[in-house]
Structure 1
Amino acid sequence: MKPNPIVGQGTPLHRWQTSTQLAQLAHVSVAQLVPEGCRAVIIAPHPDDEVLGCGGLLQGLATLGRPVQLISVTDGSASHPGSRRWPVARLNVERPQESAEALHRLGLPPHGLQWLRAGFADSQVAAREDELAAFIRRHLKPTDVVFATWREDGHCDHEAVGRASAVAAQAVGARFYELPVWAWHWASPEGSQLPWHRARKIPLSSAALARKRHAIHAFASQLEGDPQIGLPAVLPPYVVERLLQPFEVVFV
């Protein structure tokens, strides 16, 4: 098992803001990624990954009127181990509710969104990866454009979801793109850890960025830790700010 790279405060935001690699990425529009007549399928390991990874993309899809299928692989109930403030039973209920509120804040119309909760165990997705690939495949069409977390993102669930989604997309002939989420924490802005040759930048307007920020703040459980047991927040401010640059990156 490889070591967990999501430790400490990670790569400082200012290093990403001055990254020459990021600065020179080619731009891509939402319309180019998801052409007319296609459906976007967003596959999130946990409730919040769909907003953290592609809250701007989701807004663009809503503006274009593209149909969206969201698949939440887990309910994210393992985010606060040992917490009495955020026990598993509470998280099972509240984390999906937080996602629903976040999607509302992004302006996604309920009639244009299909949402599946797959019910896999948080932090245990890799143990049922083949089953997940089969589940995703059943819900895909060849004309779909699939977005999932990057297969090397650094979190075990993110990587398993990326691998399973890639297998499912290939099986049906759908296009497949990957989204870095935790990679911004551990990767080097000038290094070779990210597949820069595959990276494209989706520009976000100031209004879109503000809506994404507002949506992230719907995830109260992730913004709070549990001081009684010394548990820090999953999404402390320095993590949130790294995810609120005026663009999103997709690996094509």
Structure 2
Amino acid sequence: MATLNTRAIEGSGTSEAEWLGWPELAHLPEITVSALVPDDRRAVVVAPHPDDEVLSVGGMLALLGRLQRTPLLIAVTDGTASHAGSVEWPPERLAVERPLESEAAWHALGFPGLQAMRLGLPDGGLHALQHRLTDRLITVLRPHDVVFTTWRLDGHPDHEATGQACAIAAQEVGARLVEVPVWAWHWAHPGDARLPWARAQRLMLDAQAQQRKQAAVQAFRSQLHGDASTGAGPILRDTTVARAARPFELVFA
């Protein structure tokens, strides 16, 4: 198993041109939204931070919305630690703004008025609270749910703790787990043996779903601009935003 040090989230990361230039990516098997989430299943999206649900499966959510199927969104944290030491974006402001950004994003995806189940766990502290998160998820999930969350080896501690908790809870209740790489696209490279390509499938997105996902990403204003009070750049790097324009989403099923 790779260690966190080999999956560091640093710099600009692997460019989208590099990923899309890898021929094998286009040859991965395809899956439809109906096959991924059959009509008798509930889609449950568990997001470590506001924006993870959109970056991972925003296109899928747009497709489900068109089918008039409402998912359950679980917000594990409110993302209040995204701007360390910031005067412009202190935790108190982020606690208000980031959930509002999420709601605007869901509206863009076709879910006006949708409310998430907010667990209120500390941003940056999920590793220590993984058992607590697991126990909470076990009370919420149902047999035959399809649970979407961040990959257990995604490189971000909160993403990995959330993925682990979802895996345990899904197994406990009889739900199906679908993991989605988010930060892995940043630190990995085409053909990287650390990613489970044998489990990878591509959910193809039509033009409308792509447009809705891109619009949803733009709702996260706090994450898209630099911080004048600290000199830090945007939390969501250009490479991350570029990936939102893909005509597919990749899942590990």
Query: TM-score interval w.r.t. the shorter chain?
Result: over 0.9
Residue identity in the other structure for 1:159:
E
Please show how residues 111-122 of structure 1 align to structure 2 within 5 Å: 113=114, 115-122=116-123
- Determine which of 93, 96, 109 is the counterpart of 2:96: 93
Q: CA deviation at 1:83?
A: 0.5
The TM-score, its normalising length taken from structure 1, stands at 0.96
In structure 2, what is the equivalent of residue 31 of structure 1? 34
In structure 2, what is the equivalent of residue 129 of structure 1? 130
2 CA distance for matches of 1:70 and 1:171? Answer: 20
Which range moves more in the overlay, 221-230 or 178-187?
221-230
Deviations 1:90-143 (A, max 9, x none): 000100000000000111254xx5520001100110100000001011001102
Report the aligned-residue RMSD. Answer: 1.3
Deviations 1:39-71 (A, max 9, x none): 100000001000011110101111222231100
> Residues 114 and 37 of structure 1: is their aligned pair in 2 closer, same or farther, counting only changes over 3 Å?
farther
1 CA distance for matches of 2:63 and 2:84? Answer: 35
Deviations 1:121-171 (A, max 9, x none): 001101000000010110011021100100000100000000000000000
2 CA distance for matches of 1:180 and 1:144? Answer: 20
Q: CA deviation at 1:194?
A: 1.2
1 CA distance for matches of 2:121 and 2:38? Answer: 31
**Kindly, what percent of the aligned residue pairs are identical?**
50
2 CA distance for matches of 1:71 and 1:126? Answer: 17
In structure 2, what is the equivalent of residue 102 of structure 1? 105
In structure 2, what is the equivalent of residue 244 of structure 1? 245
Please show how residues 1-252 of structure 1 align to structure 2 within 5 Å: 2-3=4-5, 5-110=8-113, 113=114, 115-252=116-253
Deviations 1:170-225 (A, max 9, x none): 00000110011111101111221211100000111122111111110000000022
Moved over 4 A (4+): none
1 CA distance for matches of 2:4 and 2:188? Answer: 15
Alignment partner of 1:148: what SS? strand
Unaligned runs of 5+ in 2: none
2 CA distance for matches of 1:193 and 1:15? Answer: 17
Alignment partner of 2:74: what SS? strand
Alignment partner of 2:62: what SS? helix
2 CA distance for matches of 1:239 and 1:58? Answer: 18
Deviations 1:15-45 (A, max 9, x none): 1111122111110011001111111000000
1 CA distance for matches of 2:13 and 2:135? Answer: 35
Q: Conserved in 2, the CA contact under 8 Å of 1:20 and 1:190? A: no
The TM-score, its normalising length taken from structure 2, stands at 0.95
Unaligned runs of 5+ in 1: none
